[in-house]
Structure 1
């Protein structure tokens, strides 16, 4: 008996999902639910192992894709939202319409031609989580130091630079000797926030080293000038062994490091990098360079 494939589009919100199911006769079924355990179980019961399911990469997408694959046995693809022009150029932009558009995209195109995002392993997800958290707290530390520097400027002290506030001892010394009144109290609160971020950064850097100890490509990556543990882990977490990329140009495009191209007639201009791709990977590569 010939299998009847249904095409399932799922539009995910932070706490809910909207689902559209198209069968071979183009009949459209729609329903929604909460993206919690009970809601996902109800979704799983309405799907079959012959269904082709598509959902955009985003909030909880990988976890839901893995859950449906294991629970139902259906084929689930995670789609790159940046390349779904048919949805984002639609004049009718609703969750219901997005779910239908995803289902139609699956119906009209072979899976190998879809803009899919590879489903990461649990270990890759953990490594990406460390990379993202480390980037967040480093950015927070920089923001607090910048704010601390502005406190000195507000009090009329222009001889202190941001570099003078990089270490805990320098921060404490400059605050005690140069600031007075309320500026001291504000500066002390900022110093506490910087110290808090630095303590977490130290823990995350230790966790980064632990992940790298179990990766076979760590030595190769760390041998590149300018590449440290944070850059190496980001590359491993997002690029892996590189087997899913055909060449280095694809990796550069994935990281958003390829130039923008403006072509009109015989005029071809190469602009700045596109910055469309993996922001965490691009950030550490730029810093390493």
Structure 2
């Protein structure tokens, strides 16, 4: 569809069970009085009343993406308003649906809407799956904490092994407890074990998706970084979405809330802690990865020790997390190996990914051939002759390299 210069600025004030539509022109004159619709009625109204000269804005709500997809084919463009813009409406002393709708449309006409990035469908689906797994893990942790609370209240000691493994169930059920507490224990134990299976199912699906388009081309570049496994890599990728929307590593750091806050006004000039604005999930993953990196990687361990002596352990780990995120931006943008990569460790991590996720869906191929392919993508294939993996040594033979070279010629 050919788009034109917007002449009408349409706002959708979205609520749980309905939405209100209103519009102004470039001169802020109301050209469509606020009108309330149910969602089904709006779906029927939109194709016949919205035009290619309309610019539409809607608030970022749970169903924003569905409305975005419904409206986008009929208009010049659709902006999803950043939640900060909605504060201008919610702070009004006189607040009605009609006023909110026209004010949102006026902000759009004045080009004052800070729009958020609209993720494509694969990113939306993966974000939903990552968030679902996180909720399951939280619920599992809560159930486990309640079971541990039983032990603390009664000064009980667990038998050796994992506390909630299947073979421990009989021990838990044999505890001499009051009837009501025993009932809670049985239900929490069953809940924990059920959630354990659900979490495994979610993680298996995330692992499978890591071998599918569009993620498979990006996973190797992140999995090479210390502290990042398949699950954390998928969490990072889904939080970032499209790396090209960040012009620099600094923008990505700000998006994660890992940049330093600054107060520079008048004669006051001071810096503070990190802003903690943006995606807290990305910030959390990078801090967790930083703790692993400083434990196992020589470069990051040295960085951490140097920073700890100057600013303390907690600030140092945040600084390392920020540096890791900068490295993330560079490897994704430049599509190359990290400059601090430990080649043997990278090969083992890639081998672990391949071993646990299998070959590319629909294709049964040799693990070492897949490993060589991923190393080749990182530009490391010529530097690795063998991989030590769980006590076994795997050699990248000349045959595998020749097969890979033949495949590349066939693809071109």
TM-score class, shorter-chain normalisation, is 0.7 to 0.9
Q: Distance in 1 between matches of 2:162 and 2:90?
A: 45
The reply on whether 1:122 has 2:121 as its aligned counterpart is yes
Deviates more, 1:73-82 or 1:20-29: 20-29
Superposed, 1:101-140 pairs within 5 Å as: 101-109=103-111, 114-140=113-139
Q: List gaps (5 residues or longer) in structure 2.
A: 291-412
Superposed, 1:12-161 pairs within 5 Å as: 12-28=14-30, 29-35=33-39, 37-70=40-73, 72-109=74-111, 114-154=113-153, 156-157=154-155
How many pairs does the alignment contain?
Answer: 280
User: Structure 1 residues 96, 170: closer, same or farther in 2, change over 3 A?
Assistant: farther
What TM-score results when the alignment is normalised by the length of structure 2?
0.61
Q: CA deviation at 1:77?
A: 0.9
Cα RMSD, aligned residues only:
2.7
Q: Distance in 2 between matches of 1:241 and 1:165?
A: 40
Superposed, 1:131-280 pairs within 5 Å as: 131-154=130-153, 156-157=154-155, 167-169=164-166, 172=169, 175-176=172-173, 178-182=175-179, 183-214=181-212, 215=215, 216-263=217-264, 265-271=267-273, 273-280=274-281
In structure 2, the residue corresponding to 1:209 is in which secondary structure? helix
Q: CA deviation at 1:170?
A: 7.3
In structure 2, the residue corresponding to 1:213 is in which secondary structure? coil
**Residues 97-123 of structure 1: CA deviation (Å, up to 9, x unaligned):** 3322221111112xxx74211221111
Between structure 1 and structure 2, the one with the greater Rg is: 2
What TM-score results when the alignment is normalised by the length of structure 1?
0.85
Q: Is the 8 A contact 2:79 2:116 kept in 1?
A: yes
Moved over 4 A (4+): 163-166
Q: Which has the higher contact order (CA 8 A, sep 6+)?
A: 1
Q: List gaps (5 residues or longer) in structure 1.
A: none
